[in-house]
Amino acid sequence: MSKKSELNNVNPHYLERVVDLSTSFDVSASEDIFDANGMKLLAKGAKIASGVQEKLIRHKLKKPLENSIALADGVTIDKVVEIAKQLLEEVAPLKALLDSAPSKISPIDPISCISLNSSTITLLTMAYNSEGQRAFKHTVMVALISTILGIRSKCSSDEISTVAHAGLLHDVGEMYLAPEYLKSAAHLKPEDWKYVVVHPKVGQLVLQEFTTYPSKVARAVGEHHERLDGSGYPDQVIGNKISREGAIVAAAEALGGIFMNPNSPLQRATMAMRIVPGEFAADLVSLISSTAQSSSLEVQGSNRKPLSELAPNLQNLHDKLLNTMSLCETISVSPLVKNNVAYLALQQVVHRIQVIKRSLASSGVGSCLLEPHLVLSEVAPEILLELEVVSRELQWRLRDIARELFLRLYSQGYEVSGLFSELINALDILP
C-alpha cells in the first residue's frame, strides 16, 4: 500500500493479521461492508475471521477496511502506560537518561495523554499479538526514548507530544508487510529490502488517512529511518529537510535495541551514534555521551568477548573494505557506468566507504585491524568493547550501502544491475 488510491484495496498482510487477532479477540464489522460496486460483502456485526478472508481480499472496497472494523478489548493507552512503567524500572539506560535530566518531568505523562482510535488500537494490538509482544515492547520503548529525548533537549510541550505519538506509532506501517520480513532472526538480503523500506511511508499514510493527529506526527513516522547525512530510508532525506521531531524519533528507534543489551548499553549507544559522524543530531549524540560518562553503569569486563574472538571480525572488516574498493575501481572503467544512475550510484558507494574508513581510523580501532595482537591488555574492557561495537556497527553500515545500491539499480535493467551484483554481495556478506 503506497498510494491513496490503493487504500480501498485490502492489504493481504493487514487482513491476515486481523484474522489472526480474531482467534484471541472479538473482531467484527463496525458497519456494513460494501465493495466498490455497492454489493454488500458483510453485515454490521459480522465476525472478521478466516471464513470471510477470501471474500474481502477479492474485492476493492467502497471504504477502507481499517474504517470498518471494531476490536473489543484491544490494547489501550493504559496497557501502553503499564508497559512503559515496567520498562522504566527494568531498563537501566532509560532510568539513567531520565535521572540525569535537570528537571524531573515524567515521560509517562505525555504518553498517557495519547489518544487512540479504533484503527490505531487495532494496529497496536497486532504488534502486541506478534512474536511474544516483542514488536509492542519495542514500540513502547521508542515512545519512551523519544519522549525522554524531547524532554532532555528542552522541546516544547507540543513537540514532546508529537514525538511521544510518533514514537509509539512509528512502526504501524510494518503491519502491512509480509511477516517473514519482520522476524527478529531474519537475515534480509538487499533484494528483500524493497519490500521493507516502504513501511515508514505506509505508516505515514495510515496516520494521515485513519487518524486526526497533527500532520507533523505522521511526518515524523515517515522519517523514523532517515539519517541526517542522507544514508537512511526511504527518501534519503538530508539535514534540516528532516523535521526535528523526525530526527528525535529516528535516534530513539536506533537506541531502542541497544538499550535492551544488558552489557554496557550506554557505552554501546554512544559508540553506535558517533561511529559515522553526521548520522544523528549532534545534541542528541552529546546527550547520550554525557549520560554514559556520568552514569554509574560501568563497562563490565566479565562479558567482553576476548581478543581472540574479535580478531577474525576485525580482519574480515579490513578485507571487506579492501575488496569493495577494488571492485569499485573495476566497475568504474566499464562503459555501462556512463549510465547516469550507475555513475551516481558508484560515486555514492565510494564516498560512503571512504567515510567508513575515516571513521575506523578515527576510532582507534583501525590500528588493530592488521595486527590486533598489538592491543596489549586482554583485560581492558573499554578497549574490547570498542573493538566489538565498532566492528559490528561498521559491518552494518556496509550492509546498508548494499541495500541502497540494490534499491537504486534494480530497475535499471539486467546489464547495469549485473555489473554491481558482485559488489552488492561483497558489501552484504556477514563475517
Query: What is the pLDDT confidence band of residue 382, given thresholds at 50, 70 and 90?
Result: confident
Q: How far apart, in Å, are the Cα atoms of 107 and each of 112, 196, 255?
A: 9, 30, 16
Q: How confident is the model at residue 1 (pLDDT cuts 50, 70, 90)?
A: very low
pTM of the model: 0.92
| Residue 8 and residue 62 in contact, taking contact as beta carbons nearer than 8 Å | yes
**2-7 long-range contacts, CB within 8 A, separation 24+:** 2/198, 2/201, 2/202, 2/205, 4/205, 4/209, 7/64, 7/205, 7/209
Rounded Cα distance, 10 and 31, in Å: 16
pLDDT digits (tens, 9 = 90+) for 50-102: 989 989 999 899 999 999 999 999 999 999 999 999 999 999 999 999 888 77
Number of C-beta neighbours around residue 268 at 10 A: 24
Q: What is the pLDDT of residues 121-173, one digit of tens each?
A: 999 999 999 877 889 999 999 999 999 999 999 999 999 999 999 999 999 99
234: helix, strand or coil:
coil
Provide the pLDDT for residue 431: 67
Q: Which of 209-213, 228-232, 261-265, 349-353 has the lowest mean pLDDT?
A: 261-265
Residue 416's pLDDT is what?
83
Q: How far apart are CA 180 and CA 201, in angstroms?
A: 19
For residue 169, the number of C-alpha atoms closer than 13 Å in the C-beta half-sphere is 35
Query: The C-alpha cell of 10 is what?
Result: 485490502
pLDDT at 355: 92
CB atoms inside a 10 Å sphere around CB 178? 12
pLDDT in tens, 59-72: 899 999 999 999 99
Are 261 and 268 spatial neighbours (Cβ–Cβ below 8 Å)?
A: yes
3-state secondary structure of 123: helix
229, β-bridge pairs: 238
**Higher model confidence: residue 155 or residue 382?**
155
Tell me which residue of 299, 266, 250 sits closest to 149, measured CA to CA: 250
The alpha carbons of the chain give a radius of gyration, in whole angstroms, of: 23
pLDDT, tens digit (0-9, with 9 covering 90-100), for 286-332: 999 999 988 765 555 446 677 777 778 888 888 899 999 999 999 99
The mean of the pLDDT values for the chain is: 89
Q: Given this model, what pLDDT does residue 293 score?
A: 87
Task: Give the residue, 46 or 410, on which the prediction is more confident.
Answer: 46
Helix (H) or strand (E) holding 195: helix 193-196
Q: Can you give the pLDDT at residue 376?
A: 46
Q: The domain 77-294: what is its CATH number?
A: 1.10.3210.10
Distance from C-alpha of 93 to C-alpha of 261, rounded to nearest angstrom:
10
| Portion of the chain with pLDDT greater than 90, in percent | 70
Which residue ranges make up each domain of the chain? Answer: 4-72, 77-294, 307-428
In the chain, the percentage of residues whose pLDDT exceeds 70 is 92
**Cell matching residue 132:** 511474544
As given in the structure block, the three cell numbers for residue 112 are 498517557
